[in-house]
Amino acid sequence: MAKLTVKDLDLKGKKVLVRVDFNVPLQDGVITNDNRITAALPTIKYISEQGGRAILFSHLGRVKEEADKAGKSLAPVAKNLSRKLDKEVVFVPETRGVKLEAAIHSLNDGDVLLVENTRFEDVNGKKESKNDPELGKYWASLGDDIFVNDAFGTAHRAHASNVGISANVSKAAAGFLLENEINYIQEAVDKPVRPFVAILGGSKVSDKIGVIENLLKKADKVIIGGGMTYTFYKAQGIEIGDSLVEEDKLKIAKDLLEKAGSKLILPIDSKEANSFAEYTEMKDTQTEAVDKGFLGLDIGPKSISKFAGEIKGAKTVVWNGPMGVFENPDFQAGTIGVMDAIIAQPEVKSIIGGGDSAAAAINLGRADKFSWISTGGGASMELLEGKTLPGLQALTEK
Ligand code: AMP
């Protein structure tokens, strides 16, 4: 990695500013999934073990006005983190001011402090989200001139708590999570061990045009499944029944098919049903065409075999987007089939690009079989599109 990492820093006795991603789902003050807290532990533990005084910043949800602050405090996160670290986490329910400054002043080597939700600063003029120069400078002034960014999930945004702080310290470094995310995803795209197969699914072509275009340049094969399939089918004049389609993307789909030639691989059959939720009939289509009055809701068995054949021998696989409506057991077979084909490859570097595919791998019990599951849907999509992430760019070169 070309940027400084936390291992390059002298941390002992230093007030270390750290941006983490604690944007966890909360229901009535209870954290319903704490994977993001777990993912930040190695960096926090390392700083603490090295004798640094970790001052943690994170956002939680969106805060536009005073009323939005309700239920968005990081207080429950501090408790959860304290349990995980098995040590006290000083929580300061402020984002600036004397209380926060005094609490930081009282820290000892190895201590951990969590600042209140950075987006509370958005109430008066979106200071956090618009990277207000005064705010970045103020937060930077709370530490000893060093900053660690470990929040991959927000690295595609230029906010005061990542880019703003970085601009006001001498050394801004990547934490372990950010470093891993970049190494796995960027290396897979830019320096893949070949054959490199990209698999893209999910509902909409419009969300993934940039990713498809970039991966067509980089990968040896680009496999498409999920709801996106039917826009590509319709662009070729294939009957799609009532399947999901984006009429305004038919031209782009046609252009992509022409440009890509045999590199772009589409399903050859579907599992179709006569309604999305209240279906009374369900069958395999046998050919590409979906029957009138039916919707394609998963790839069919022939496509699963075809895709498994295309994945065979792959040394790098990047997968983003389920092959069907995987939330419903009737339409999970495609996503499971593709996952099993990926993980069956010996020596494969298998990467899941966040979002719904990560949820599918976790819910369908295959998460531990992949080399890397990204923690940031939006940020990983931007990396796959070949874009530069502002949060990463702002870090100090080695
Ligand atoms: P995305 O957020 O674009 O990755 O899309 C994920 C969603 O796409 C999941 O909720 C799936 O249920 C949905 N999906 C996948 N295949 C289909 C399909 N054939 N028709 C409708 N929705 C689909």
Chain segment 230-257, per-residue pLDDT in tens: 999 999 999 999 999 999 999 999 999 9
Residue 180, number of CB atoms within 10 A of its CB: 19
* Residue boundaries of the structural domains of the chain: 6-179, 192-384
pLDDT, residue 1, reads: 85
Strands (E), the chain: 15-19, 26-27, 30-31, 53-57, 89-92, 112-115, 146-149, 171-174, 196-200, 221-224, 264-265, 270-273, 282-284, 295-299, 316-320, 349-352, 372-373
171 neighbors 146 (Cβ within 8 angstroms): yes
pLDDT classification of 163: cutoffs 50, 70, 90: very high
Reported as a single tens digit per residue, the pLDDT across 125-152 is 999 999 999 999 999 999 999 999 999 9
What CATH number was assigned to the domain covering residues 6-179? 3.40.50.1260
Mean pLDDT value of segment 67-92 = 97
The reported pTM is 0.92
Q: Which atom number of ligand 1 is nearest to the Cα of residue 321? A: 4
Strand partners, 30: 27
Mean pLDDT value of segment 7-33 = 96
Average pLDDT, the chain: 96
Mean pLDDT value of segment 14-40 = 95
pLDDT classification of 359: cutoffs 50, 70, 90: confident
In angstroms, the CA 348 to CA 143 distance is: 42
CB of residue 244 inside a 6 A radius of ligand 1: yes
In angstroms, the CA 167 to CA 88 distance is: 30
The CA radius of gyration of the chain, in Å to the nearest whole number, is: 23
pLDDT, residue 355, reads: 77
Q: Which atom number of ligand 1 is nearest to the Cα of residue 298? A: 19
Instruction: Reply yes or no on whether the pLDDT at 10 is more than 80.
Output: yes
Q: Which atom number of ligand 1 is nearest to the Cα of residue 229? A: 19
pLDDT, residue 236, reads: 97
pLDDT classification of 187: cutoffs 50, 70, 90: very high
In angstroms, the CA 113 to CA 103 distance is: 8
* Residues contacting residue 169 through CB under 8 Å, at least 6 positions apart: 17, 140, 143, 145, 146, 147
User: Among this protein's residues, is 36 annotated catalytic?
Assistant: yes
The reply to whether 192-384 shares the fold of 6-179 is yes
45 neighbors 87 (Cβ within 8 angstroms): no
227 neighbors 204 (Cβ within 8 angstroms): yes
Please tell me the distance between residue 283's alpha carbon and the centre of ligand 1 in angstroms.
19
pLDDT, residue 82, reads: 98
Q: Note the helical H segments in 30-175.
A: 35-49, 75-85, 98-105, 133-141, 165-166
User: Among this protein's residues, is 204 annotated catalytic?
Assistant: yes
Omega within 30 of 0 (cis) for the link into 346: no
CB of residue 111 inside a 6 A radius of ligand 1: no
In angstroms, the CA 82 to CA 86 distance is: 6
The structure tokens listed for 32 are 């319903």
From 45, 204, 254, 263, the catalytic residue: 204
User: Among this protein's residues, is 378 annotated catalytic?
Assistant: yes
* Residues contacting residue 189 through CB under 8 Å, at least 6 positions apart: 214, 215, 218, 318, 383, 384, 386
Instruction: Reply yes or no on whether the pLDDT at 376 is more than 80.
Output: yes
Give which of 309, 246, 301, 244 is closest to 269, Cα–Cα.
301
pLDDT, residue 356, reads: 86
CB of residue 226 inside a 6 A radius of ligand 1: yes
Percentage of residues in the chain having pLDDT higher than 90: 95
Angle, vertex CA 275, rays to CA 271 and CA 278, nearest 5: 115
From 296, 355, 376, 377, the catalytic residue: 355
pLDDT, residue 42, reads: 98
CB of residue 337 inside a 6 A radius of ligand 1: no
Instruction: Reply yes or no on whether the pLDDT at 307 is more than 90.
Output: yes
pLDDT classification of 177: cutoffs 50, 70, 90: very high
pLDDT, residue 354, reads: 74
CB of residue 203 inside a 6 A radius of ligand 1: yes
User: Among this protein's residues, is 13 annotated catalytic?
Assistant: no
In angstroms, the CA 139 to CA 164 distance is: 9
Mean pLDDT value of segment 121-126 = 94
CB of residue 267 inside a 6 A radius of ligand 1: no
26: phi then psi, degrees, rounded to nearest 5 = -125, 140
Mean pLDDT value of segment 199-224 = 95
Tokens 């009532």 -> residue: 242
CATH topology of domain 192-384: Rossmann fold (3.40.50)
In angstroms, the CA 62 to CA 83 distance is: 26
Please tell me the distance between residue 201's alpha carbon and the centre of ligand 1 in angstroms.
7
Percentage of residues in the chain having pLDDT higher than 70: 100
